Copies of this chain bind each other. A is one copy, B any other.
Amino acid sequence: MSRRPWHDRPVTVTDLRTPAVLVDKARALRNIDRMQAAATARGLRLRPHAKTHKSPIVARWQIERGAVGICCAKIGEAEAFADAGIADIRIPYPINPANADRVIALAARTQLSFIVDHAGVAAAWSAALTAAGLTLDVLVKVDVGFHRCGIAPDAATAVPFITAVAALPGLRLKGLLSHAGQAYHATSAGHLREMATDEAATLRALAAAARTAGVSIEELSAGATPIARFSLEQDGLTEYRPGNYAYFDRTQVGLGAASLDDCALTVLARVVSKPAADRVILDSGSKTLSSDGARGFSPASGYGVVLGHEDLLVERLSEEHATVRATRGTTTLEPGDLVRVLPNHSCVVSNLVDQAWLVEGDEVTPLPVAARGRIA
């Protein structure tokens, strides 16, 4: 992966084959420290979502600094982290009982919990786990406005579902869980604050109604990096599950959750063509930056920021090319030159490489992305 012999001196950024995904270790650790401190200060347990880094190395940094465990999106991701010895994994995803065999095997080697949001699925899990002689922690997923998964939060329909789940053998109802994914479509910081307030109020109200119905609700778990700063101010939450904060990205900057200097993940790219004075081609296309567009309420366009060259617009991505246009005249970049691109979305970039590189000063060391591609 590197261009020169390694044995005589440390590997530096300019030795790398391009494109390459770089993770600034100092920034990642600072991001992790800050979020942990904010959660601890409010008495919340932090359980980072590992989808952003997909790396047991980074997960251990998070746990060593106080995280109670991690979240994984899929069973395959959880298997990769369990293989690496991560002891407490929550899957805030409506996993299907078609995979009961894998969940049962996984529960033998890590503390495993997951969510339910459907009566038939919950009943099937109950049957499968009971047959295996297991009882696993579950949380009921509540839709707080993203309208993806989760039960509708009105007590009239939600409380009977929660009560039914609490009564199922093989499942131990821990509490309620939500993800305010609508935060990615917020129009202002005030809008984000409102979403955070609403989410916590929804969870508290539903927990109160469930408790009135005689159900124990121990955990109120929320989590989304864009609104973390507002959610951590809310009362009643017990757990927070942000993911992106470890690396941040251009979208988080656009949502006011981070500054450019907080962003830990960048793509090292090389200029490979300069067909016109105002156009260069980088070797980082959608296979590296992904085709995820710019988001956030600060206006932004294109497929990333060429750091130090803010006059450049990453106008179009092909799979292996970024077509970059100088918006103010021409660019001094020439073929062979190296640049760093801040991507719109860091989580999906991690998923595109088997290995990223940890950067400390100019030196780089491999950072395997152990859970990359664990889609199932």
Interface residues of A (CB under 8 A from B): 1, 3, 17-20, 51, 73-74, 76, 93-99, 101, 117-118, 120-121, 124, 143, 147-152, 181, 270, 272-276, 279, 281, 283-284, 286-288, 290-293, 316, 318-321, 323, 334-336, 347-348, 351-354, 373, 375-376
How far apart are the CA atoms of A95 and B287 in the complex, in Å?
A: 16
Q: Which residues on the B side are within 8 Å of A347 (C-beta)? A: 319
With contacts A18-B376, A288-B375 taken as known, whether A320 is within 8 angstroms of B74 at the C-beta atoms is yes
Contact call A348/B375, Cβ cutoff below 8 A: no
Which residue from B96, B148, B320, B351 sits with its C-beta under 8 Å from A321? B148
Interface class of chain A by DSSP:
loop
How far apart are the CA atoms of A51 and B118 in the complex, in Å?
A: 40
From A274, which residue of chain B is reached at the shortest CB distance?
B118
With contacts A281-B148, A375-B353 taken as known, whether A101 is within 8 angstroms of B3 at the C-beta atoms is yes
Contact call A120/B275, Cβ cutoff below 8 A: no
Q: Which 4 A-B pairs have the closest CB atoms?
A: A17-B376, A94-B273, A73-B320, A94-B272
Contact call A335/B120, Cβ cutoff below 8 A: yes
Contact call B287/A375, Cβ cutoff below 8 A: yes
Q: How far is the CB of A177 from chain B (nearest CB, A)?
A: 13
Contact call B270/A96, Cβ cutoff below 8 A: yes
How far apart are the CA atoms of A352 and B375 in the complex, in Å?
A: 9
From A267, which residue of chain B is reached at the shortest CB distance?
B375
Known pairs A94-B281, A120-B336. 17 more at Cβ < 8 A? Answer: A17-B76, A93-B272, A96-B335, A117-B273, A117-B275, A120-B335, A121-B273, A147-B275, A147-B279, A149-B273, A149-B281, A150-B275, A286-B290, A287-B351, A290-B291, A291-B293, A319-B351
Q: Which residues on the B side are within 8 Å of A291 (C-beta)? A: 290-293, 348
How far apart are the CA atoms of A315 and B5 in the complex, in Å?
A: 49
Q: Which residues on the B side are within 8 Å of A351 (C-beta)? A: 287, 319, 352
How far apart are the CA atoms of A319 and B76 in the complex, in Å?
A: 14
Q: Which residues on the B side are within 8 Å of A18 (C-beta)? A: 98, 376
How far apart are the CA atoms of A316 and B286 in the complex, in Å?
A: 19
How far apart are the CA atoms of A334 and B121 in the complex, in Å?
A: 10
How far apart are the CA atoms of A133 and B97 in the complex, in Å?
A: 61
